[in-house]
């Protein structure tokens, strides 16, 4: 096994790191995120009894718990997914994948660069996948449909939530002098958030599946290399 990423990948010839336990933790956090998103969609009114999205009474205890879990779970998912992405990219290189265009660092930074974050994170994940399937011949590997669907769901969920935020802020500003207009805006914003929650369910489940598969592929290559050593 080549432990060097070669001339084009100088500086990334780091040893392979076992991420099996961390990958499982990341997967379970994604499963939890899917469950919370499903609950959020149900309590929005779109997935439940069809009642109005604008709350007229205090939320039920379980709804309140879901609301409290959303933000810390989102932070946990961001940290673990980005950490796994960085190491998975580095591990693909350690297994022999050379000339990857997205570095371990950029595989996470692309998520935070406007416009480029619409497609470059997918490019980084594609290279992780390809470099895990055939480290020494990754350019011949195709992109599996689940990876494309994951990104489409993820992107659509993020765009829906991003559009909803300024609508909610505007609704809050209008409330004192235009309550009807504020209610209309709030209905639209909460509808978008409900759609975002719905889209996050398959996005989280598909990403969990991708992480599990990449981890298994990399571990298999690592085991084969050690057996031949």
Domain boundaries, the chain: 18-228
Distances (CA, A) of 8 to 109, 126, 152, 200: 20, 18, 31, 36
**How many angstroms separate the first and last alpha carbons of the chain?**
8
222 Cα distance to chain centroid: 26
Q: What is the pLDDT of residue 10?
A: 45
Rounded average pLDDT over 164-192: 86
Taking only the tens place, the pLDDT of each residue in 198-223 is: 999 999 999 999 999 999 999 999 88
Above 90 in pLDDT, residue 225? no
**Residue 135 — left, alpha, or beta (φ > 0 → left; ψ -120 to 50 → alpha)?**
alpha
- Predicted confidence band of residue 229 (pLDDT cuts 50, 70, 90): low
Q: What is the pLDDT of residue 60?
A: 60
Q: What is the pLDDT of residue 49?
A: 44
Above 70 in pLDDT, residue 180? yes
In 3D space, the residue among 48, 77, 50 whose CA is nearest the CA of residue 62 turns out to be 48
Above 50 in pLDDT, residue 5? no
- The residues near 118 (Cβ < 8 Å, ≥ 6 apart) are 155
Q: What is the pLDDT of residue 143?
A: 95
In 3D space, the residue among 17, 212, 221, 219 whose CA is nearest the CA of residue 137 turns out to be 221
The helix, strand and coil proportions of the chain, stated in percent and rounded to the nearest 5, come to 75, 0, 25
Taking only the tens place, the pLDDT of each residue in 160-169 is: 999 998 888 8
Taking only the tens place, the pLDDT of each residue in 99-118 is: 999 999 999 999 999 999 99
C-alpha 221/C-alpha 227 separation (Å) is 10
Distances (CA, A) of 158 to 32, 68, 118, 197, 222: 18, 20, 10, 10, 35
Taking only the tens place, the pLDDT of each residue in 118-154 is: 999 999 999 999 999 999 999 999 999 999 999 999 9
Whether 86 contacts 117, CB under 8 Å = no
Rounded average pLDDT over 164-177: 86
- Predicted confidence band of residue 1 (pLDDT cuts 50, 70, 90): very low
In 3D space, the residue among 75, 120, 88, 74 whose CA is nearest the CA of residue 101 turns out to be 120
What is the pLDDT of the chain when averaged over all its residues? 86
């Amino acid at each position: 096994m080549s432990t060097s990423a070669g001339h084009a990948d100088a500086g990334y010839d780091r040893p392979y790191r076992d991420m099996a336990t961390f990958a499982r933790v990341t997967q379970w956090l994604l499963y939890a995120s899917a469950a919370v998103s499903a609950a959020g969609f149900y309590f929005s009114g779109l997935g439940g009894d069809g009642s109005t999205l604008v709350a007229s009474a205090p939320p039920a205890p379980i709804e309140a718990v879901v609301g409290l879990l959303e933000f810390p779970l989102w932070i946990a998912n961001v940290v673990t997914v980005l950490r796994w992405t960085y190491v998975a990219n580095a591990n693909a290189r350690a297994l022999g994948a050379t000339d990857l265009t997205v570095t371990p660092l950029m595989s996470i930074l692309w998520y935070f660069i406007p416009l480029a974050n619409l497609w470059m994170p997918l490019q980084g994940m594609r290279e992780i996948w390809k470099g895990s399937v055939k480290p020494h011949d990754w350019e011949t590997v195709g992109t599996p449909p689940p990876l494309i669907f994951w990104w489409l769901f993820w992107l659509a969920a993020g765009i829906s939530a991003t559009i909803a935020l300024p609508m909610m802020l505007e609704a809050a500003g209008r409330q004192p002098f235009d309550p009807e207009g504020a209610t209309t805006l709030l209905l639209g914003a909460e509808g978008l958030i409900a759609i975002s929650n719905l889209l996050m369910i398959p996005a989280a489940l598909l990403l969990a599946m991708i992480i599990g598969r990449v981890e298994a592929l990399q571990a298999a290559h690592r085991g084969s290399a050690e057996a031949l050593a």
